[in-house]
Amino acid sequence: MTRYIVQRMVGMLVVVLLVLTIAFVIVRLAPGDPAALMLGPEATPAEAAELRERLGLNEPIPIQYLSFVGNALRGDLGTSIFFNQPVTRVLLARAEPTVYLALFSLIIALIIAVPIGIYAAYRRGSWLDQTAISTAMLAASVPSFWTGLMFQRYLATELGWFPAAGYGGPDADFWVRMGHLVLPSIVLGIVNSALILRFTRASMLDVLGEDYVRTARSKGMTEWRVVLRHALKNAAIPIITVIGLTFALLVSGAVVTERVFNIPGMGNLVVSAVLRRDYPVIQGTLIVVATLYVFINLLTDLLYLLVDKRVRY
């Protein structure tokens, strides 16, 4: 098992290196001089030359690449052009709302999807099952920003049940800030529940057909116990996998949702960075998010070992 974990760690390192490489290449896909692009049309050639020097763009590409990877592995993702601060510091300053938004919406998605998914599988073909499946399909087809705008318009602005936008201002205390995340988390939670629901239902359906479920029933175990103790325990693995996979969905959703509700998080930062042509920030966000994704998926794989005793590597 230790060997498996080491193997997976090495595999993860290779993918992270490739992530860094892709992030490096993307910025160099820019037509023309990246320094001139970042500074915009008003910049003088002297300013562009100065920025090129500062970003090390005058070095040969292989040297640029090596120092980029070396710095990134040491935790240095460059300096933001707009803020004139290290990218890592800029990102950290905006991490709080994004992390909580992702966390809350994941919890909401699980609360919606897992019980309904289990029940839909248990009552396969019933009207509730069919309604659940079609609603999930619909939820996956509606753009999350559109749901966000509608909820904001009717539940926040009109009925005043939730704060409509923002993060409570610079001096807001913790609970006020969290209060501003409730509606965005509900929106993102609904969007993300669709995939989890489909997977929960599918993996429960697989397990409910197994012999040991029939055995448990024939022993006279209560249905409640059969479904929760025996079936759910074995359906947990695919559910954990899909939770790892929804991370990407969660981040994509957070970028858009933060924009809808004007929450000063990393999603809002990256969109502003695009409008300001602050390439180091865009590049840094890509690296941080993709690395997190790789890491989370390694973690969910390792969780298998804990949840399912049959899995041996």
SS3 state of residue 79: strand
What 8-state DSSP symbol labels residue 75? T
Instruction: Tell whether residue 197 is a contact of other proteins (CB under 8 A).
Output: no
Stretch that binds other proteins, among 54-62, 132-140, 169-177, 178-186 (CB under 8 A): 132-140
| Nearer of residues 221 and 252 to other proteins, judged by Cβ | 252
Q: Residues 129, 290, 300, 301: which binds other proteins (CB under 8 A)?
A: 290
Q: Residues 10, 46, 275, 306: which binds other proteins (CB under 8 A)?
A: 275
**Are residues 121 and 213 in contact, defined by beta-carbon separation less than 8 angstroms?**
no
Q: Tokens 């998080």, residue?
A: 265
SS3 state of residue 276: coil
**Are residues 296 and 247 in contact, defined by beta-carbon separation less than 8 angstroms?**
yes
Stretch that binds other proteins, among 53-61, 78-86, 177-185, 287-295 (CB under 8 A): 287-295
Instruction: Tell whether residue 274 is a contact of other proteins (CB under 8 A).
Output: yes
Instruction: Tell whether residue 270 is a contact of other proteins (CB under 8 A).
Output: yes
| CB 155, min distance to other proteins, A | 13
Stretch that binds other proteins, among 42-50, 145-153, 217-225, 227-235 (CB under 8 A): 145-153
Stretch that binds other proteins, among 175-183, 210-218, 272-280, 305-313 (CB under 8 A): 272-280
Instruction: Tell whether residue 255 is a contact of other proteins (CB under 8 A).
Output: yes
Stretch that binds other proteins, among 47-55, 60-68, 284-292, 303-311 (CB under 8 A): 284-292
Nearest to 144 by CA among 245, 224, 253: 253
Instruction: Tell whether residue 143 is a contact of other proteins (CB under 8 A).
Output: yes
Stretch that binds other proteins, among 85-93, 94-102, 134-142, 170-178 (CB under 8 A): 134-142
The residue count of the chain comes to: 313
Q: How many residues bind other proteins (CB under 8 A)?
A: 51
Instruction: Tell whether residue 161 is a contact of other proteins (CB under 8 A).
Output: no
Instruction: Tell whether residue 68 is a contact of other proteins (CB under 8 A).
Output: no
Instruction: Tell whether residue 140 is a contact of other proteins (CB under 8 A).
Output: yes
Residues 6+ apart with CB under 8 A from 100: 178, 181
Instruction: Tell whether residue 192 is a contact of other proteins (CB under 8 A).
Output: no
**Are residues 125 and 117 in contact, defined by beta-carbon separation less than 8 angstroms?**
no
SS3 state of residue 169: coil
| CB 193, min distance to other proteins, A | 16
Task: Supply 2's token pair.
Answer: 């230790």
- How big is the CA angle at 244 (ends 104 and 199), to the nearest 5 degrees? 95
| CB 275, min distance to other proteins, A | 7
| Other CB atoms within 10 Å distance of the CB of residue 307 | 15
Nearest to 130 by CA among 186, 192, 190, 197: 197
| CB 97, min distance to other proteins, A | 16
H-assigned helices in the chain: 2-28, 34-39, 45-55, 61-73, 87-93, 95-122, 127-139, 144-151, 174-208, 211-218, 223-225, 233-260, 266-275, 279-307
List of residues contacting other proteins (CB under 8 A): 14-15, 18-19, 21-22, 26-27, 29-31, 137-138, 140-146, 149-150, 152-153, 157, 198, 202, 206, 248-249, 251-252, 255-256, 259, 270-271, 273-275, 277, 279, 282-283, 285-286, 289-291, 293-294
